[in-house]
A = this chain, B = another copy of it.
């Protein structure tokens, strides 16, 4: 049974969509699978639960699997992450992270400040022994399923040894959580050849090529990401973020434009009604919310960051993802992987 500590106050649609998503996850699972603890303003959480008791799609959810820890503070997106984690001891985020640290929960999920989650994960939950940096690794939609873009977190000036560890952690995640056997690992690059790239990529490439235990396939350019050429794409967090955010922004701009065009006149609305079912089916595979949130890997427990704009569907999937992560003992597998390693284990 997996115990998830859920930050009810983080994200654009908190607490309503967070509570909804959690209840949906409860409804989709049995009582031996999942319990949820909400951290946040108890009155606000209770008010949302009350609404869901009257919701015909959600009423009858198992209330015995829900608990609430009342907190009085909220970490805002604009705050300094280090300061916020240090000073807001009674925030929904810090209290939930401490539950993981103290073994009262197996996993933490939040749509709150990415910076605060990254700091809190490291400082409160703590790194596994042998792990040098803890990457944030969203699964992004591709034409052939999802690919793990590792790292999109805080490690912007990365070293080759970090990327080498990301290759292992990412492979473990994709194999045991996403069910992909022998996942293909690539390095984000700006050309296909081995000699391409900046100094980080040039130094890392031969190390990945020589590394046992991973299925390295070489450089992955932007178009290869979308084609689904690799299952795990390692990169420094600056490049990873640029790729991720450009992908999301371009997609959302084009879809926004499509939507506004299809509803801009009666003629267009008629045309849209005809093409909409096929279009919706095609675009479904590019819905990132199907993959839940981005796990922060290499920690002693599971920390998952969902989008700030996450709605119930993404929260539900993020919670479901925690079940696979915990059942597959991903943290233990990562720890075991680095206990065997020597080359990348040196602390700095």
Q: List residues of chain A with CB under 8 Å of any chain B CB.
A: 143, 156-157, 188, 190, 197-199, 201, 221-223, 225-226, 236-239, 241-243, 245-251, 253-255, 257-258, 260-262, 264-265, 267-268, 270-275, 278-279, 282-283, 286
Contacts and interface: CB of A to CB of B under 8 A. Distances in A.
A190 B274 contact: no
A79 to B, nearest CB: 11
A197 B156 CA distance: 7
**Which are the 9 A-B pairs with shortest beta-carbon distances?**
A271-B274, A222-B245, A271-B275, A156-B198, A190-B241, A250-B250, A223-B249, A222-B246, A246-B246
Contacts of A226: 249-250, 253
Given A156-B197, A190-B156, A238-B190, A251 B254 contact: yes
Contact of A249 (B198, B222, B241): B222
Nearest to A281: B261
Contacts of A286: 254
A225 B279 CA distance: 27
Specify which of A250, A264, A265, A268 lies most central, judged by the most chain B CB atoms within 10 Å of its CB: A250
The residue in A197, A222, A226, A258 that gathers the most chain B C-beta atoms within 10 A of its C-beta is: A222
A262 B268 CA distance: 13
Copies of this chain present: 2
Given A245-B223, A272-B275, A253 B198 contact: no
B257 A267 contact: no
Given A242-B190, A271-B272, A274-B270, A255 B254 contact: yes
Nearest to A78: B193
Contacts of A248: 222-223
A292 to B, nearest CB: 21
> Which of A199, A201, A223 has its CB near the most chain B CB atoms (within 10 A)?
A223
A283 B271 contact: no
Contact of A261 (B190, B268, B271, B278): B278
Given A222-B242, A250-B254, 14 more contacts: A156-B197, A156-B199, A157-B198, A190-B238, A221-B245, A226-B249, A238-B239, A239-B239, A243-B246, A246-B250, A257-B283, A258-B258, A271-B271, A274-B274
